[in-house]
Amino acid sequence: MNILLFKFGSVFYFLGTITYLSYILALKEALSRIAAKVILIGFALHTLAFIARYAEAGHMPVTNLYESLSFFAWAIIGVFLVINQKYKVKVLGAFLVPLALIFMISGLSLPQEIVPVAPALITFWHPFHVFFAFLGDAIFALAFCCGVMYLIQDRLLKSQSVGAITRRLPSLKVLDDLNYQSLIFGFPLLTLGIITGAIWAEYAWGRYWGWDPKETWSLITWFLYAALLHQRLAIGWRGRRAAIMAIVGFSAILFTFLGVP
C-alpha cells in the first residue's frame, strides 16, 4: 500500500515537472499554477505513503537507503511548496522538483519491502536526527538550485546576451536572497542534525563521536556552510561566489549522504 502511494506520488511529481517545463517554454501563467497544484497532490500522496509505511513498519520509516531517499525527496518538495507560496519564483519548480524526482526514481530501483531492522536504528533519537538533517539538506538543495540559476543568469547578463532565458529566470537579487535565506534557515537545522546525530550515536553505539566516514564528512560539510555564513555576514560574500559555494556545499551533502558508508 505504501509503495503504491509512493509510486503515485512520483507520477504526480513527474507530471508537475513536465508542466513546469511547458511553462518555461510557453510562459502561460496558468501552467505554473496548475503545476503547483499537481505537485501538491503528489506531496499529499507521498505524505500518505509515509504514514502508511509507518503504520505497517511500526517505526519511523527512515531506516534504509530507499526510505532515506524517499524522505529526502519529501523534504525537498515540502520546502519547494513553502517557498512557492511565499516567493512566487515561478521557474523554481522546474529545477527543484526534478531533483526530488531523481531521488524518488532512484528509490524505486532499490528494494522497497519493509524488512526487520537493526535495533540501533529504532531508537528515540534516530528519527529526530534524520528529520533535522534532511530538512536542512532540503533547504540547501533549494540554495543549490538557486545557485545554479544564479550562475546561468549572471553569465547571460554579463555577456549582454539578454533574451528568452534571462526573461524567464528570476532576478539576481531574488536568487541571491533565497541563497541567503537558505543559509539562515538551513545552517541551524544542519547543526541540530549533527547534534541529534551524536546523541543518537551515544544511545546506539555508546559514544558521541567516532570519526567514522559519515560523521567526518558531515562535519566537513558543516564547516563549509559555517564558513559561507561567516563570509557572507563579515565581508559580503554574495552573488556569484555564494552561488558557487551553495553548489559546492550541496555536493558535499550529497557525498556525505550517498558516497560515504
List, in sequence order, the alpha helices (H) in the chain. 2-26, 29-57, 65-87, 92-108, 125-158, 164-168, 172-205, 213-235, 240-254
Angle between helices 92-108 and 65-87 (to 10 degrees): 170
Q: How far is the CB of 35 from other proteins (least distance, A)?
A: 19
The closest alpha carbon to 257, from 224, 214, 226, belongs to 214
- Smallest distance from other proteins to CB 54, Å: 42
Q: Which of 85, 91, 14 is nearest to 46 (CA)?
A: 14
Q: Nearest-CA neighbor of 75 among 118, 130, 155, 119?
A: 130
In whole angstroms, the minimum distance from the beta carbon of 236 to other proteins comes to 3
Binding site for other proteins (CB under 8 A): 27, 153, 157-158, 160, 162-163, 166-167, 170-174, 235-241
Distance from the first to the final alpha carbon of the chain: 30
Choice between 174 and 189, CB closer to other proteins: 174
| Residue 63 dihedral angles phi and psi, to the nearest 5° | -105, -15
Q: Of the two residues 32 and 63, which places its CB atom closer to other proteins in the complex?
A: 32
What is the nearest approach in angstroms of other proteins to the Cβ of residue 194?
Answer: 30
> For residues 26 and 55, which CB has a smaller minimum distance to other proteins in the complex?
26
Task: For the CB of residue 164, give the shortest distance to other proteins in the complex, in Å.
Answer: 10
Shortest distance in whole angstroms from residue 180 CB to other proteins: 13
Nearer residue to other proteins within complex by CB, 115 or 158? 158
- The smaller minimum CB distance to other proteins, of residues 179 and 256, is found at 179
Nearer to other proteins, 166 or 216 (CB): 166
CB 91 within 8 A of CB 53: no
